[in-house]
Structure 1
Amino acid sequence: MPENRPSGYDRRRLLRDTAVGAAAVTTAGLVAGTPARATTTVAPTGRPRPGAVSFRWWGTAGWRIDIGDRTVLVDPYLSRYDTGLFRNAFRPDTRLTVAGDVVDRFADRAENILVTHTHWDHFNDVPHIAARTGARVFGTLTAYHLGLAYGLPTGQLAPVKGGEVLDFDGYTVEVVGSLHSRNPSWSMAFPGVRVSRPPQPATIADLPEGDTLAYQIRVDGGPSVFFMGASDLDERRLTGLAPDVAMVASAATGSVADYVPRLMAALDHPKVVVPVHWDNFETALTNPPTVAATDRARLDALIAEVRRVSPRSRVLVPEYHTAYRF
């Protein structure tokens, strides 16, 4: 560790290693796909203790974070309809739809929604949830303009670029500039941005990537947790974050060089690593998650690589809707 790092960094890392080291995470059988679970901490009344925070995975890169009686969502995509993507029959003209009964049941409240990028499997349900709950939507300028296209008021839309550290009186959200993953042709589906308000989107192709962000939530008296929505990174922007827990997107292809080694080093080898974006997100949110064979292989490869380059990190493979507390 360089000697010129501030003492606050060392203290934060010590607190991180002590607090998160106490979280019991079972890692047996992960390569075979058995989900690991963190222990839960519940007050005698059965309600989370004051200040307790729980994390529930909603598939893809989606999360519900409950901080006491307050809720933050990350990339909430619950509608999960068929585009042909997992049948090698992808249809870019697939109509955008919202499964209102499912979305409303699980996303019953939210004060903030954090959007990593605006592809349909991250943004599709965001306008519906924001309109229903009054949640504030954080995202790129593209997310801002798409929100306007859906009729959300400007007061609910908060454009961010990366570098912001936002205080919500009990937790902070640090916005981190990031990159989207690449396909085998070193490109991506639906690249582009929206620099002004477009017509309301009708098909999945109307929701471009729109630049990509990551987020780190730091809860007062609790953990710091890093969230990715796509499997690429600019490690220079990650330096110093040192999260307790990292929600890490499974690599889509091998087009990003040294993805896991660079990511683990840039994040200072988190105590807990949680793979995301490995499930078939066009199937129902029922456990065990449905996994395509190629994605199963990528998940296994991610787990093996984390163990190789960051052997002190614990790997937790999540199940849908399960409350994890670190």
Structure 2
Amino acid sequence: MDTKIKAWWLGHSAFRLESPSGKVIYIDPFLSGNPTTPDDQKNPDDVDYILLTHGHEDHVGDTLDIAKKTGCKVVAQVELSHLLKKHGLEEDQRVEFNKGGTIHFDDFSVTLVDANHSSSFKGEYAGEAGGLIISFEDDICFYHLGDTNVFGDLELYGDMYQPHVVAVPIGDYYTMGPQEAAICVDMLQPKIAVPIHYGTFPVLTGDPEEFKEFVAEYSEADVQMPKPGDQFLG
């Protein structure tokens, strides 16, 4: 796909994106404790924004350390944002919003949409889990589903936002497995689907090859399976 943005999968649910103007965006930066993230990607020092889907430790990950190091903005659902402040995030780095809300930055916007999952941070309620729809100015729409199973509103999101790229959890056990994930792709009808949230730990048994086979049954999306640390856009 011809795109101005750049994207890397860093293992599990973590991504690094670079906007057309060069802004560096991390999604769910579970890096230093992630056994699949390459060592040279575990401690970023050039971050402008962190976007979080929900509060679980394998998604918040290194957010507080990165924010302290870089001064980046941290975008999160209201309750999670308040908990991050409680644990050291500076007030001027917090950007809070809620489902249905869209925030505009530089050359991109972020909309928080639903996900069917739970959310807590350090044992406290962290609001509801969500998905992130990131729309780049004069470029693509990137939809990170977060942790979820299949649900009917995905078809509506596909019609409304027309995502070009979707990042879909397939690992099973804590999220949906490959077949449910492929049905999500069918509902969203993206050009590219990237399987995530698998293989990090033994319990996450979802197979990306199986996911690819199911996707081929349901849609014409191109399934890309980057290795952790690989760039797959731009």
TM-score by length of 2: 0.83
- Paired position in structure 2 for 1:27: none
RMSD over equivalenced CA pairs, Å = 2.9
CA displacement at 1:251 relative to structure 2: 4.4
Q: Which residue number corresponds to residue 216 of structure 2?
A: 307
1:215 is aligned to 2:132: yes
Q: 1:193 to 1:319 in 2, by over 3 A?
A: closer
Change (3 A) 1:137 1:262: same
Residue identity over aligned pairs, in percent, reads 23
Structure 2 counterpart of 1:280:
200
Hey, what's the Cα distance between the residues in 1 that align with 2:209 and 2:203? 11
Q: 1:264 — aligned with what?
A: 185
Match of 2:55 among 96, 102, 118: 118
Structure 2 segments unaligned to the other structure (5+ residues):
none
The answer to whether the 8 Å contact 1:77/1:123 transfers is yes
Check the 8 A contact 1:139/1:213 in 2, yes or no: no
Cα deviations by residue, 1:84-131 (Å, 9 ceiling, x for unpaired): xxxxxxxxxxxxxxxx99643xx2122211111111111121111111
Q: Distance in 2 between matches of 1:218 and 1:177?
A: 16
Query: Could you say what secondary structure the match of 1:279 adopts?
Result: coil
In structure 1, which of residues 54, 79, 100 is the aligned counterpart of residue 6 of structure 2? 54
- Which residue identity lines up with residue 221 of structure 2 in the other structure? S
The whole-number CA distance in structure 1 between the counterparts of 2:175 and 2:65 is 34
Which secondary structure state, in structure 2, belongs to the residue aligned with residue 159 of structure 1? strand
Partner of 1:77: 30
Q: How do residues 4-19 of structure 1 correspond to structure 2 at under 5 angstroms?
A: none
Separation in 1, partners of 2:163, 2:194: 12
Partners of 2:70 and 2:168 in 1: CA distance? 28
- Post-superposition Cα deviations, 1:40-63, rounded to whole Å, max 9, x if no partner, equal x8xxxxxxxxxx311011111000
Greater CA radius of gyration, 1 or 2? Answer: 1
Give 1:1-326 correspondences, 5 Å limit. 20=1, 23=2, 52-67=4-19, 68-80=21-33, 103-104=42-43, 107-180=44-117, 193=120, 201=122, 206=123, 210-236=127-153, 238-239=157-158, 240-253=160-173, 259-260=180-181, 262-267=183-188, 269-280=189-200, 292=202, 295=205, 298-310=207-219, 312-325=220-233
Unaligned stretches of 5+ in structure 1? 1-19, 24-40, 42-51, 83-99, 181-190, 195-200, 282-291
The residue type equivalent to 1:264 in the other structure is V
Question: Residue 140 of structure 1 contacts residue 160 of structure 1 at CA under 8 Å; is this kept in 2?
Answer: yes
Letter in 2 for 1:273: A
- Please say if residues 108 and 134 of structure 2, whose CA atoms lie closer than 8 Å, have aligned partners that are also in contact: yes
Partners of 2:107 and 2:119 in 1: CA distance? 35
Secondary structure of 1:226 counterpart: strand
Distance change (3 Å), C-alpha of 1:112 and 1:234: farther
2 CA distance for matches of 1:223 and 1:254? 29
| TM-score, normalised with respect to structure 1 | 0.61
Structure 2 CA distance for aligned equivalents of residues 216 and 141 of structure 1: 17
The Cα offsets for residues 227-260 of structure 1, whole Å up to 9 and x where unpaired, read as 1221324432624221011111114149869723
Q: Which residue identity does 1:59 align to in structure 2?
A: G
Q: Deviations over 1:10-43 (max 9, x none)?
A: xxxxxxxxxx4xx5xxxxxxxxxxxxxxxxx8xx
Structure 2 CA distance for aligned equivalents of residues 232 and 142 of structure 1: 22
Deviations 1:201-228 (A, max 9, x none): 4xxxx36664211111121232111112
Q: Distance in 1 between matches of 2:207 and 2:11?
A: 16
Match of 1:284 in 2: none
SS across alignment from 1:301? helix
- Flag the 1:324–1:81 CA change in 2: closer, same or farther, 3 A: closer
Q: Is the 8 A contact 1:274 1:317 kept in 2?
A: yes
The structure with the greater share of residues assigned to strand is 2
Find the aligned partners of 1:254 and 1:103 in 2 and give their Cα distance: 24
